[in-house]
């Protein structure tokens, strides 16, 4: 029964903590609400088949040279990268229908968080739009769940909306053992209305860039049933069927 399942959770409150955890045998959850994990979800739901995260712009461009069919998506400092097909806005994909194209992605924060989790047994990506779906998937996996959540942050620092989303995810899980970071994320989610996330550092930058429609899309709780997984062995991720 679900109530008998042991669910142990820790949340890294900044990317500086990522290397402090032993990930072997654990499930890692990557969150980058504004906007990487939300944008990936939109792309995959629109029909992209797979994504491949890389650390640098140069890596992405080299892969495109080797395989011109690849689609490049990403940003640096919130801005689209010259030579890429898409920036990092989910609205690039909303209303479109793809036919199985593959994405290569690099962003300032989100792709680094994924690559930092490569030693985990399983890697799941989520966002405010899909936290409930991710929680349901996680509860279906095995007898016990040993979970570490990596909010992608901003330039190696704490991120309000990513940590809030970690608490949102935890609100859907019957957690039995709480790490201190998980407790902090839980309190943040319970005590801060979602509208306050519009005043966070990332959100303020997006508003200055006239990207408030991105905020509306990204801050829509549990509006998607999509679950994204990433395979560290192959480097490719996909949307679960």
**In the predicted model, is pLDDT for residue 113 greater than 90?**
yes
Burial class (CB in 10 A: 0-12, 13-18, 19+), 158: middle
The pLDDT-based confidence of 2 (bands split at 50, 70, 90) is very low
**In the predicted model, is pLDDT for residue 3 greater than 60?**
no
User: Who has greater pLDDT, 78 or 191?
Assistant: 191
Cα–Cα distance between 18 and 16 in angstroms, integer? 6
Q: What is the CATH number of the domain that holds 122?
A: 3.90.1560.10
Render pLDDT for 139-198 as a digit per residue (tens, 0 to 9): 998 889 999 999 999 888 999 999 999 999 999 999 999 999 999 999 999 999 999 999
Residue 90, pLDDT score: 97
Q: Residue 7 sits in which domain range?
A: 2-239
pTM: 0.95
Render pLDDT for 134-143 as a digit per residue (tens, 0 to 9): 999 999 988 8
CB 97 within 8 A of CB 47: yes
| Domain count for the chain | 1
Residue 92, pLDDT score: 96
Phi, psi of 238, deg, nearest 5: -155, 170
């Amino acid at each position: 029964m679900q109530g008998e399942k042991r669910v142990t959770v820790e949340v890294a409150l900044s990317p500086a903590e990522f290397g402090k955890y032993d990930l072997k045998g654990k499930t890692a959850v990557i969150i980058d609400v504004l906007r990487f994990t939300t944008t990936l979800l939109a792309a995959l739901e629109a029909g992209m088949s797979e994504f491949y995260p890389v650390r640098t712009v140069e890596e992405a461009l080299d892969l495109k040279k080797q395989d011109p069919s690849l689609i490049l998506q990403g940003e640096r400092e919130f801005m689209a990268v010259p030579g890429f097909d898409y920036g990092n806005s989910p609205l690039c994909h909303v209303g479109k229908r793809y036919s199985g194209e593959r994405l290569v992605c690099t962003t300032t924060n989100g792709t680094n968080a994924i690559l930092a989790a490569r030693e985990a047994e399983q890697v799941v990506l989520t966002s405010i739009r899909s936290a409930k779906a991710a929680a349901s998937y996680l509860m279906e996996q095995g007898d016990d769940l040993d979970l570490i959540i990596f909010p992608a942050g901003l330039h190696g620092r704490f991120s309000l909306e990513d940590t809030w989303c970690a608490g949102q995810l935890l609100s859907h899980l019957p957690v039995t053992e709480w790490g201190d970071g998980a407790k902090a994320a839980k309190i943040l989610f319970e005590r801060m209305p979602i509208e306050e996330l519009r005043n966070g550092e990332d959100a303020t930058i997006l508003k200055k860039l006239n990207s408030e429609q991105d905020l509306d899309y990204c801050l829509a709780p549990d509006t998607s049933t999509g679950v994204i997984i990433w395979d560290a062995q192959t480097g490719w991720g996909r949307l679960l069927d």
